[in-house]
Structure 1
Amino acid sequence: MKLYILPLLFTDNDLLEHLSSVVFEAFKIPVSFLEESFSLEEGYDPVRNQYNSTWILSKLLEKAPDEDCKILGVTTVDLFVPVLTFVFGEAQLQGKAAVVSSYRLRDELYGLPKNPERLKERLEKEAIHELTHTFGLV
C-alpha cells in the first residue's frame, strides 16, 4: 500500500513535506506526491462561497494511481458538506480518499495573530484524523 498526497491550491511546500513525514510516521506506509491536480471550480458553491468536499473526494478517487492506495487532498479553500456549515476535512470510511483544508485551521480567520506552528499542528491532526477514517476507524 502507498499513500499519495495531492496539493489542491496548496502552495506551502515546506508544510506539505512536513505533513508527508508526519503521515509516514503515523501509518508506516510510503508517501509520495501527485502533481497532476484538477480544477476545483466545479465543486464551488457561489451561494455558500465554499467548496463541496464530497465532490472533491470523488475527483480524488479519479486520480488514485492504483487500487492499493490512499489519496489525501490538501487544500486552502473553505470546505462544506450540504448538511453542515463547514468541515475541516472529509474522508471515505474504509475507502481510498480523504481531503483536508487549512482554511478554518488558521488563527487569523478568528481575529488572532498568525501562528504557523499552531497551523502545522492542526493540519497534522486533521490529516491523521481523516486518514484513519479511510482505514475504517470512526
Structure 2
Amino acid sequence: MRAVVQRVSCGAVSAPGQERRTIGPGLVVLLGVGRDDDDADVRYLADKTVNLRIFEDAEGKMNLSVADTGGELLVVSQFTLYGDCRKGRRPGFSDAAPPERAEKLYEDFVHEIRSRGLRVVTGYFQTHMLVEIMNDGPVTMLLDSKKQF
C-alpha cells in the first residue's frame, strides 16, 4: 500500500450528485492499493499514519501525531499512486490491485483507523472526485508498506 499523507488545516471531497464531505485540522490520505497487498499492509500503514509525528508541539517541533491532536482524516482512494511512468508517456497500472480487492483493503484501512477512535471521512470509491487540500506547512509524507525496512 502507498499513501501520500498531508497535514491539513481542512480538506474536502466532492463528486457529481454526491454530498460534499469535509474535515477540519488533521490529515488527508491519498491511498493506493497494490496487487500484492494484504491485511499486514493495512495494519502497518494504518498504524504508521495514525502515529506519524508531523504536528507541532508547544515548542514548534513536529512531535505530535493525529491521534495526539484529536485531528480528523480524509481518506481518498487513489489507484494512480501505482502508475508506472518509466516507459512511454502513458502510465501503466498493472501494479495496482483490481477494483474489488482494492475496495476491500481500502475499507479495511478506514476501519482500522476508526477502531482507534479517530473520525474518518472517505472519498467515493471508483468515482471521479474533486479533492480540496489545504496543506498546512506544507507537510507531505510518502508512505509505502513495502518499504518498511
Report the TM range for the smaller structure's normalisation.
Answer: 0.3 to 0.5
Richer in helix (by share): 1
Richer in strand (by share): 2
Q: What TM-score results when the alignment is normalised by the length of structure 1?
A: 0.34
Q: What TM-score results when the alignment is normalised by the length of structure 2?
A: 0.32
Instruction: Return the index of the structure with the highest Cα Rg.
Output: 2
